[in-house]
Amino acid sequence: MLLLRNADVYAPEALGRRHLLLGGGKLLWMGEAEPALPDALAIDTIDLDGARLIPGFIDGHVHVSGGGGEAGYASRVPAPLLSRYTRAGVTSVIGLLGTDDVSRGTNELLSHVYALREQGLGAWGYCGGYHLPPTTLTGTVRGDIVFSDALIGVGEVAISDHRSSQPTLDDVLRLASEAHVAGLMTGKAGIVHLHLGDGVRGLELVRQALDTSELPPRVFQPTHVNRKKALFEEAVALAKRGCHVDITAFPVEEGEDAWPAAEALLRYLDSGAPPERVSISSDAGGCLPCFDEHGRVCGMDVGHSGALLDTLNELVARGLLLERALPAFTRNVADLLRLPGKGRIAVGGDADLVALDGQGAARHVWLGGVAHVRAGDVVRRGMFER
């Protein structure tokens, strides 16, 4: 067991100075007065001396097996290693496939999800990828979600993008119904995680789906909604109708027709849309390409989970209270994806915790109460990390 003393707890709501007792992967107790514990328990103690303690981030859009592939085989991005997540304060990830859902499939994705689990990280995934029919293990989306404990939805399915399979409304409705019913059968999220490109159709397919079907809005989660300013306004309107929308923490150049993640969240919170229906993810391990007018790659970057902590610190520096910023990285994601014990600091919940230093970096990181980062140093690495 481990006793954390004098933590300034954001759960994500601000609780003030607390002491916390961790054990068996859980938060066992939390209180204002330090507990009297028997010496025989030999409990380790860390005095956080007023450091801010937050729930570990849930990165809801990660290419755990690597992304890319739009510019030939050499452009396939390698899979991120364990410490790339933990040193950024990420304690749980949702893995997915993107453009390359042929040479990379659901079986490989699941292998990486299970490998991360073996190393202590919370990890789940989506079956499918950009294209329809979706790549699956069992032959159907419903079968994958029902029979694989780690698969909780389908995605990232591309719409309004030249790399998509140009799905029709019927295609989207059929896919969403498969995911929704599987979610009902299993208690999982059962959502369709939708990649949004730069196409002029924007979120029109999702609006049509809501207008013409009985499917609940929560089934549809568009991501990359800040890549175009007009697209972002469409996403805010959909959030007011019940959809959950996901902002991507990718780099935005000055003058670009896009909103940086921090600016997008501030605008979302000011819009009057429900604050619980927005999240921020990193696209870690994914290729961030730009294309010329012929659809050819003319430049490329790679997403990384550290963008989440960078975005959080920018939000706080711009005056947003930490307790208002945090849910988009923690509780909102856990609630949408039905991940019990995640996204909160609560007795009985998982001991996935991050203590921030004065500059907002992850000074200590615990996954299930086990230290992965201590005093800023990575102390647990993946099998093939030096």
Measuring CA to CA, how many Å separate 52 from each of 10, 34, 47, 244, 329?
A: 7, 17, 12, 28, 16
- Residue 162 labeled ligand binder: no
CA 375 to chain centroid, in Å, comes to 25
Residue 19 is labelled as binding a ligand = no
- Whether 334 contacts 322, CB under 8 Å: no
Distance CA 239, CA 222 (A): 10
Question: Contact, 206 vs 220, CB < 8 A?
Answer: yes
Alpha-carbon span 25 to 17, nearest angstrom? 22
Among candidate residues 59, 246, 283, 335, the one labeled active-site is 283
- Relative to beta strand 52-55, strand 353-356 is antiparallel
Q: Is there a catalytic annotation at residue 8?
A: no
Residue type at position 307: A
With vertex at residue 232, the alpha carbon angle to CA 153 and CA 310, rounded to the nearest 5 degrees, is: 80
Question: Could you give the CA distance from residue 374 to residue 311 in angstroms, rounded to a whole number?
Answer: 22
Nearest to 43 by CA among 1, 103, 105: 1
Q: Token pair 């859902």 is at which residue?
A: 101
Confirm or deny that 294 is annotated as ligand binding: no
SS3 31: strand
Judge whether 152 and 106 are in contact, CB under 8 Å.
no
Annotated binding residue at 63? yes
Treating both helix axes as pointing N-terminal to C-terminal, what angle do 261-270 and 306-317 enclose, rounded to 10 degrees? 50
283 assigned ligand-binding residue: yes
Give CA–CA dist 118/102, Å, rounded.
Answer: 26
In degrees, rounded to 5, the angle at the alpha carbon of residue 279 between the alpha carbons of residues 29 and 327 is: 30
Active site residues: 283
**Residue list, annotated binding site:** 61, 63, 195, 224, 283
**Residue list, annotated binding site for Zn(2+):** 61, 63, 195, 224, 283
